[in-house]
Amino acid sequence: MIRARNLHCGYGGHEVLRGVDLHLAAGEFAALLGPNGSGKTTLLLALAGLLPPLSGGVELAGRDISGLSARERALLVSCVPQGAAAPAGYSVQELVRMGRYAHTGFLGGYGPQDDDAAQAALADAHCLDLAERQAAELSGGEFQRVLLARALCQGRRALLLDEATSALDLARRVEAFDLLARQHKAGSTVFAAAHDLNLAALYCPRLVFLKAGRIVLDGPTSDVFTEANLKDIYDTDLRVAPHPVTGAPQAHLVPGAHAHASLLR
Amino acid sequence: MMQQGGIPGAKECEKRRDVCPAWLRACALASALLVSLLLTVVLACAVGSYPSTVGESLRALLQAAGFAAGEAVDPSLSVVIVDIRLARVLLAGLTGASLAIAGAAFQGVLRNPLADSFTLGVSGGAAFGASVAIISGMAGEAALSGDARALPACALVGALTALALVLGLSRAGGGPLSGLRRETVVLAGIVVSTFLSALISLLKSLDEESVASIVFWIMGSFQGRGFEHAELAWPYMLVGAAIVFWRARELDVLALGETQARMLGLEAGRSRLWLLLAASLLSGAAVAVSGVIGFVGLVVPHLVRLVLGAGHRRLLPASALLGALLLIWSDVAARSVLPGGAELPVGVVTALIGGPFFCLILARKGLKNRGEA
């Protein structure tokens, strides 16, 4: 579904991605992990065709992304951006329906099928109660759910999410990942950048770790989610233990690890 | 404290929205505006130095439209009402609608609440183009003769040049338009505007004969304007308005910002270019026949947004109607407040109304920013 080949990307001479090779097969559910500034957002932007690569390329559904129009790209992948600001003067319903922009013709407006898609997306993202609210009046967490709804409204073939649950409380976070898992079961390709290692390990069968612009680890969760690997990538002490209910590996931080390290040095 | 102050207001707002859904409010506002526009035309045609009543105005207008109602109106009064006043009202309405649509488009594309043809220097550029056309003899002295056809084209070229200058000045590197600094656009607009009005003054002092007509471009007025001016401008206005209306949904998507607009499948650069061209077309045509009239394009979209929200499918038509209303009444004021038949430039009236409103927007924006900080 999505393939990156020797991808180099950056902003104004500063190279952020330094040769990324990645293949996400159709219907895969993977998490993108890594420390701050490792290039997660940049990689997602490049995969969505929003940031032209310095070299290398991206393929969407077997076609080179530079040959696709903005509309064609939007019909293939939907994105949940990080740190977006709510526009003033639009209701949640209107904002979610904008996800259908790529589905409408040049002259035609939004039709009943667009309203239905928006309604279904709002229901799936548990935002029906927000539909009549003004987008600019929402809390950070509410707005994140609305952005998720907009991505679903746009299309469910491939979803790229950038820290899409960072402002959500515990219950909403589980709700959102349950939704992603359901989409994955229904055939969507889901690639979610996250900071929450444990949530990713709990839900995603595959983890991709990015560090300093390169993929340092990529594989099935049970294989790659080990103490040694995580210590190495995050430069901090931690323990990995199985989840008491599902048995998925979970990382636990060790307090004072850095104070010790600096004392020893 | 801030929080407590904010919540009751928001609740009230929500309640109002529940009672009255958005489409119903849009319909109510649209019909109210249409009715007031019809009333306005009749009333505005009754005002002037030649004495006439509202009844006479209505009858003269109905007669001209082919409906004979009641006794016939005195022919000379009919000429005053239809050929002079109605023509003026029509032109003021077209100009007001064009400026309001252009303002809404500029504000949407640049995501800047202070943008409009006037603050961006686009009107100044159009006035400069028109002045050059007059001085160089491309357009007739009072812009009345057949070769005045060159006037809107010259105004458009001037408008586009000024816009390119402003955007170039405020660009912070990167691709065209993508690196626009939202805050500096208006600043650059004022610089370009001031520079161009100095150039117009220079032209004025070079050619004594054209002084009167050039002053008219700078101040903006409908004095002595007739049907022929409306005829000159409306095709440009129609094309400009059609482009903006067709791209109303794109304006909504652009409101989300460059990255999200492209995520949703909009070729943001191309869409912006078309919208800026169309808004310049509207501004250029308006300036070509009525001179520089400020504040209409700035104030009207804001007023409409307060009631209807920012969705451009509703904002644009409502702004057009309200812009027409505002400018027709401003022109009525311009030609009736001074004693003895003397006229104020209509740009003075709109500035008197719009200036304080501009301050209000700034103050509200300032308050909001302080609240967030």
Question: Comparing C-alpha atoms, which of B96, B106, B351, B335 is closest to residue B219?
Answer: B351
Question: Chain A within 8 Å of B361 (Cβ-Cβ)?
Answer: no
Calpha distance B42→B89 (Å, rounded)? 10
Q: Check if the beta carbon of residue B244 is closer than 8 Å to that of residue B316.
A: yes
Q: Check if the beta carbon of residue A48 is closer than 8 Å to that of residue A79.
A: yes
Task: Assess if residue B99 is contained within a domain.
Answer: yes
Task: Assess if residue B316 is contained within a domain.
Answer: yes
Q: What is the pLDDT of residue A101?
A: 94
Q: What is the pLDDT of residue B11?
A: 42
The CATH number for B141's domain is 1.10.3470.10
Of B18, B260, B266, the CB nearest to A84: B260
Encoded amino acid at A257, one letter:
A
Sheet arrangement for strand A189-193: A77-80, A158-162, A189-193, A29-33, A206-211, A214-220
Task: Assess if residue B12 is contained within a domain.
Answer: no
Q: What is the pLDDT of residue B6?
A: 38
Distance of CA A155 to the CA centre of its chain: 14
Calpha distance B31→B170 (Å, rounded)? 40
Question: Comparing C-alpha atoms, which of A170, A159, A158 is closest to residue A147?
Answer: A159
Calpha distance B1→B316 (Å, rounded)? 37
Q: What is the pLDDT of residue B330?
A: 94
pLDDT in tens, A74-106: 999 999 999 888 998 999 999 999 999 999 876
3-class DSSP state for residue B199?
A: helix
Task: Assess if residue B120 is contained within a domain.
Answer: yes
Q: Check if the beta carbon of residue B103 is closer than 8 Å to that of residue B303.
A: no
For chain B, what is the domain count? 1
Task: Assess if residue B54 is contained within a domain.
Answer: no
Q: How confident is the model at residue B96 (pLDDT cuts 50, 70, 90)?
A: very high
Task: Assess if residue B32 is contained within a domain.
Answer: no
Q: How confident is the model at residue B1 (pLDDT cuts 50, 70, 90)?
A: very low
Task: Assess if residue B56 is contained within a domain.
Answer: no
* pLDDT at residue B12 is higher than 60: no
Handedness of CA A83, A46, A97, B280 (dihedral sign): positive
Of A90, A101, A107, the CB nearest to B264: A101
Instruction: Inspect the interface and report whether the beta carbons of A50 and B249 lie closer than 8 Å.
Output: no
Task: Assess if residue B100 is contained within a domain.
Answer: yes
Domains along chain A with CATH numbers: 2-225 (3.40.50.300), 226-265 (no CATH)
Ranges under pLDDT 70 in chain A: 106, 258-265
Domain range spanning residue B209?
A: 91-372
Q: What are the DSSP E strand ranges found in chain A?
A: 2-11, 14-24, 29-33, 55-60, 63-64, 77-80, 158-162, 189-193, 206-211, 214-220, 238-242, 249-253
Calpha distance B109→B102 (Å, rounded)? 10
pLDDT in tens, B202-245: 887 777 665 666 666 777 888 888 888 888 899 999 999 999 99
A50, A79, A80, A98, best to mutate vs chain B, most B CBs in 10 Å: A98
> Of residues B17 and B275, which shows the higher confidence score?
B275
Q: What is the pLDDT of residue A137?
A: 92
Question: Comparing C-alpha atoms, which of A152, A219, A157, A218 is closest to residue A26?
Answer: A157
Instruction: Inspect the interface and report whether the beta carbons of A73 and B265 lie closer than 8 Å.
Output: yes
Calpha distance B256→B97 (Å, rounded)? 26
